[in-house]
Amino acid sequence: MSAEQDLQLLYGLSAVGTPYAKPIVLAEISNAHAPGSSIIFPMIVDSGADFTCMPREVADQIGHNFEAGNEVPLIGVSGQAKARRHGMKIRIVGPGVSAASVNDKDIIPCTWTIEVTVCEPLRNVGLFGCHDFLKDWDFRLKMSQSVFYLIPITPAVRKSVKSWKKLSQR
């Protein structure tokens, strides 16, 4: 087995929050400026999204004041949306874990602190975008097998995935 195969994370496609199966990863989302509360939330790996986006409801649950964020223009396939940027910390959950049963050992010990685009019309799922979170990963989709792979490409993320896999024997 190659080093890349050793570190790749294999996920099944999921229809969480959507009518169709998509590449979805559970993530622990917390407020970068007010530690304490976090939420486990489904995120679509979206190669068409420039930046990571989150529904306003998630930001509200972890203590963000939506109106206090920096307003940014956001245009998607459904048109223009009201959006603001907020600092969040994100850690991803390993494959094969349901949202109801996540515990600390299921979470890969690598934290991304990024400015997330929080938007009002987005519902049920967030989006991992190409220019922040996904820049640290290669992404491979195999629709015929209903699976996708995340392969860490930066040294810090590779190290975190390696140690997590060793501790959890995944």
**What pLDDT band is residue 99 in, cutting at 50, 70 and 90?**
confident
Determine the Cα–Cα distance for residues 92 and 43; give it in Å rounded to an integer: 9
User: What is the rounded average pLDDT of the residues 4-28?
Assistant: 85
Determine the Cα–Cα distance for residues 120 and 19; give it in Å rounded to an integer: 20
- Is 51 part of a structural domain of the chain? yes
- With tokens 């094969």, the residue in question is 96
pLDDT higher than threshold 90 for residue 33: no
* Number of structural domains the chain divides into: 1
- Is 53 part of a structural domain of the chain? yes
CATH code for position 58: 2.40.70.10
User: Which residues span the domain enclosing 38?
Assistant: 3-161
pTM to 2 decimals? Answer: 0.89
- Is 166 part of a structural domain of the chain? no
Q: What is the CA radius of gyration of the chain?
A: 16
Determine the Cα–Cα distance for residues 26 and 96; give it in Å rounded to an integer: 10
Determine the Cα–Cα distance for residues 124 and 111; give it in Å rounded to an integer: 22
pLDDT single digits (tens) 105-160: 999 999 999 999 988 877 788 999 999 999 999 999 999 999 999 999 999 999 99
Determine the Cα–Cα distance for residues 77 and 47; give it in Å rounded to an integer: 14
